Amino acid sequence: MLVLGMNRWGCGTRIIPSQFNLGHPLSGVCLASSDPPFQGPSILGLLSPSFTYLDALKSVHVPEKAIRHIGGRLISAAERIVVPTESNTESLDAPILRSPIHTPVLVTEVLEFLLVKSGGIYIDCTSGEGGHTEEILRRCIPDGHVFALDSDSDALKAATARLHRYRSNLSLICTSYNQISTLLALAKISSADGIVFDLGLSSLQLQQSGRGFSFSKTEPLDMRFDATNGPTASDIVNHYPVDKLTHILRTYGQEPRARFIARAIVQRRPIYTAVSLAGIVATTAKQSRKGLHPATRTFQAIRIAVNDELRNLQIGLDQAISALKPGGRVAVISYHSLEDRIVKQTFQRESKECICSTEILRCVCGHKQQLQIITKKIITPSSNEKIRNPRSRSARLRVAERIHNIS
Ligand SMILES: C[S@@+](CC[C@H](N)C(=O)[O-])C[C@H]1O[C@@H](n2cnc3c(N)ncnc32)[C@H](O)[C@@H]1O
């Protein structure tokens, strides 16, 4: 049934209403656009838990040309979703539930700082397998709503089963968090009570995506969160010149041996799998003092480049801040200093009334303070959490609140 939104702001926002079940043949496609004849209400229908809207959408005619325009990439066989009807309601009650692979990080702290309340509107920008989403839902039902976003449709499928029981309070949306403003406009929601980002990649992606995130796997070099969009790790590894590769390894991996590694990569092309890339890097890089695999920085750098992670974070964060209600909070968990620096600097900038250079005597910037920083010191996991979940070791949480009177 309906799977994707096409809109004036760009194709690529696939919308998976949470009450849809998975694993059935795709029965149709609906486009939602700001242009006639697919105007506003159809988008609302896509996002609404109401069956009435979904029924209305069935009658929308989708021109062949429009489908071609958005390309096969938006709907793949793997994304089969069925609208519940009377004849298939049984399938709705039987989502395939398995234990999540990913253990959510700093959950207690995130919930405490977000002040989640019943009836609130929340956005989980990186829902993954739905760990944080589930806890927010628990606290905002029966009247609240969570928009759970992720670029990775496989992750959202896992979340669909887990969050099934909250389906009337949830919209699972396969899109980048750089689309928050568009999403809220489409949903006709002016602002949110809380927004959370849990950056980076999940254990599910590392262990089971088959996309070459882990250096121990014989998997193709893909590394895209959204496996339908953009260049792959293989494009970078096998086609970029030494200088460009060096720049990526240095900037996004903070790799001191960037040029050596880049040269080795270029000499050993073509490189097909994650494990081969890791092997090549290991022959050139020094063993890390922290006992990390020598390819850790290289893999981080390539993944950041593939997914344009730092630029997306800046865009997403700016949009999130604008999307908050007065008193609403944004919480960001980052896993390395490049991400954390963006969060810290953005919070600092937005908590100032003036951002003019200190040499200027009279303010000319016109900047307005939007935030108050809540976590004066970064929050890190307890030693217990680090033992229970070693992946949490590098996590840092920062929280800020939208101020009430923006002058
Ligand atoms: C650390 S995991 C989140 C785990 C989740 N909080 C949980 O408890 O299951 C990060 C997620 O962010 C997603 N992601 C990365 N970049 C994104 C982007 N620009 N927009 C939306 N999701 C993104 C990844 O696909 C991944 O699923």
Percent over 90 (pLDDT), the chain: 57
- For the chain, domains (ranges, CATH) are 1-94 (no CATH), 102-198+316-407 (3.40.50.150), 206-307 (1.10.150.170)
Supply the residue whose CA is at minimum distance from atom 18 of ligand 1: 176
User: What pLDDT score was predicted for residue 91?
Assistant: 37
Atom of ligand 1 nearest to the CA of 105: 8
Rounded to whole angstroms, the Cα distance separating 259 from 265 reads: 10
Q: What are phi and psi of 22, to 5 degrees?
A: -105, 170
202 Cα–ligand 1 center, Å: 7
Higher local confidence (pLDDT), 30 or 150? 150
Residue 31, pLDDT above cutoff 90: no
* Helix, strand, or coil (residue 59): coil
For residues 136-156, average pLDDT = 91
Residue 227, pLDDT above cutoff 60: yes
HSE value, Cβ hemisphere, 13 Å, CA-based, for 225: 25
List, for residues 379-404, the tens digit of each pLDDT value. 999 999 999 999 999 999 999 999 98
Q: Which of 99, 102, 126 gets mutated to test ligand 1 (max ligand atoms within 8 A of its CB)?
A: 126
Supply the residue whose CA is at minimum distance from atom 22 of ligand 1: 150
Supply the residue whose CA is at minimum distance from atom 20 of ligand 1: 176
Q: Which of 114, 150, 222, 313 gets mutated to test ligand 1 (max ligand atoms within 8 A of its CB)?
A: 150
216 Cα–ligand 1 center, Å: 22
Report CA torsion sign: 248, 249, 255, 258.
Answer: negative
335 with 199: CB under 8 angstroms?
yes
For residues 256-276, average pLDDT = 97
User: What pLDDT score was predicted for residue 50?
Assistant: 27
User: What pLDDT score was predicted for residue 289?
Assistant: 63
